[in-house]
Chain A
Amino acid sequence: MAKKLMKGCEAIGEAAIQAGCRLFFGYPITPQNEIPEYMSARLPQVGGMFVQAESEVSASNMLYGAAGAGCRCFTSSSSPGISLMQEGISYIAGAELPVVFVNIMRGGPGLGGILPSQSDYFQATKGGGHGDFRCLVLAPSTVQEAADLVQLAFDLADKYRNPVYVLGDGLIGQMMEPVEFKRTVNPEELPEKEWATTGAKGRKPNIINSLYLDPEDLEKHNWKLKKKYEEMEKNEKRWEEFNLEGNRDILFVAYGTVARIAKTAIEDLKSKGINAGLFRPITLYPFPGEELVKAATKCKKILVSELSTGQMLEDVKYHLGKEREVAFYGRVGGMVMTPEELVDEAVKLLK
């Protein structure tokens, strides 16, 4: 397929269709309305179904039903809407259902604003809903990567029977970039889901449930989930190293939008004779901690930058330990740092 110029939101929608997804349930919210708009036009063309639910709570429960019936399905929303979906996400994690959630983050807390932010890192990586569960979290930094990771998200959701987040922000969602859809999945050809509730003709009934009143059973279930999360941690870490060959004066740690701003800053720092590199987690959970530690050993200073007051920062500090000093630069509320700001921070840090 030839490269197209597409908005991030539209590319996410098309990627879902190319991944064989035929069902969307959602509720509008800025800055991701182009996703439901796109799905409402595209899904009927491919024999799919678009449902605008009466609220985010019901959308996430519709996803529970559709995923339980074995269908690839997804939704998209933005921060406050994702908060409303947390009940469903917890049940989906408990019942081990594959659902993809796209969160095009905006500034918070509360209704906050509509401009780009990375304010929901904690919510996505540390739970969000109640109960002892984890979601896989993928964080694209270009429109192409958003499309690729949405396709991957559906595969990972099926593989682990687990909710998967694709965590973007208003900038990724609203920006246009060239994009290419690398593969097309026919939903008819996806492996059969033997656990799904598809009508128990000629077999024992399957049950989709997150209720375990017997504590012994629930404990068993919790440890089974934990084992699954360990598998994810073993197999699914993804990250990018940029300009990290050899020793470096400074290491930027950033994901998504901020990572690309850091790349421009790194180029600008070269002209000042400063050697900088970037470590970009692509999976936020599982966090590529050991890989970060390895990258950090080659760098004198470490600067974490986020569109938050410091959330991924905690994971970075956890992995690097007390002996490494970690500096932080954040912008919030929908404000986005310029490459010049990161250059200034780096220069200040190296003084």
Chain B
Amino acid sequence: MYKEIILAGFGGQGVLLIGKLLAYSGMKMGNDVTWMPAYGPEMRGGTCNCTVVISDKPIGSPMSKHPHGLIALNLPSLDKFEDTVKKDGVIVVNTSLINRKVKRSDVKSVEVAANEVAIECGSAKAANMVALGAYLGATQIIDLELVKNILSETFASKPKLIEVNHKALTRGYELGKGA
């Protein structure tokens, strides 16, 4: 396996967190992984992204010019990265905040209203989990149960959050699988 994924959104939407979850899960499967945040003089409300690479061989460059996957939680992220995605790649589009379609026809577009679905699951803050779930459902690169277990570990000190995030991941997964 060799996958480069860019996860992008507004600061505060939790893209770094779902990136870590994705990387951690990839590592638990026995892969080499890297998680690289775009760090710079950012401000609250600004854009934020990270790149995750998952590979069954040692990873060279941790950055990606042409990722296999993109999770875009807001419009500026889709505008910035849509053209970079590899042919036959997967783009998860958060339709709650993105009011346009993916322009390209050579990639798979997975549309989810992540914010609304998250509210249905019990917390608007879990939109990032819905989007990650949708990506996992569409690509099947990592077993959902593994990701849920790691999420339980990550949130061990905040047990109240586990259930709603599990729900959001699962709901996103189902939507992604059906897309």
Contacts and interface: CB of A to CB of B under 8 A. Distances in A.
Q: Report if A and B associate in a common complex.
A: yes
Interface of A: 3, 5, 31, 114-115, 170-171, 174-178, 260-265, 267, 336, 338-340
Given A5-B33, A177-B59, A260-B62, 7 more contacts: A115-B39, A176-B35, A176-B36, A263-B58, A263-B60, A338-B63, A340-B65
A339 B59 CA distance: 12
A175 B41 contact: no
Contacts of B45: none
B89 interface: no
Contact of B60 (A115, A267, A336): A267
Contacts of A262: 60
Given A114-B40, A260-B59, A175 B35 contact: yes
B61 interface: yes
Interface pairs A-B: 10 shortest CB-CB: A264-B60, A263-B60, A176-B35, A264-B61, A261-B61, A260-B60, A175-B36, A338-B65, A178-B27, A5-B24
Instruction: Report, as a range, how many residues of chain B touch the other chain.
Output: 20 to 34
Contacts of B23: 5, 176
Contacts of A265: 60
Contacts of A339: 60-61, 65
A178 B60 CA distance: 14
Contact of B39 (A170, A336, A338): A170
Contacts of B36: 171, 174-176
Contacts of B35: 5, 175-177
A261 B53 CA distance: 13
B143 to A, nearest CB: 18
A262 B37 CA distance: 20
A338 B61 CA distance: 8
21 contacts: A3-B27, A5-B24, A115-B39, A171-B36, A174-B36, A174-B39, A175-B34, A175-B35, A175-B62, A176-B33, A176-B34, A177-B59, A177-B62, A178-B27, A262-B60, A263-B60, A263-B61, A264-B61, A338-B61, A338-B65, A339-B61
Interface string B16-52: 0000100110010000111111011100000000000
A178 B34 CA distance: 8
Nearest to A143: B34
A170 B63 CA distance: 13
A148 to B, nearest CB: 15
Given A176-B20, A260-B61, A261-B61, A5 B39 contact: no
B40 A115 contact: yes
Contacts of B63: 336, 338
A177 B60 contact: no
Contacts of B34: 175-177
A174 B16 CA distance: 12
Contacts of B60: 260-265, 267, 339
A29 to B, nearest CB: 14
A322 to B, nearest CB: 32
A344 to B, nearest CB: 12
From A176, A265, A267, name the one whose CB has the most chain B CB atoms within 10 angstroms.
A176
A180 to B, nearest CB: 11
A170 B39 CA distance: 9
A171 B62 contact: yes
A260 B60 CA distance: 4
A262 B20 CA distance: 25
Contacts of B59: 177, 260
From B23, B39, B40, name the one whose CB has the most chain A CB atoms within 10 angstroms.
B39
Contacts of B27: 3, 5, 178
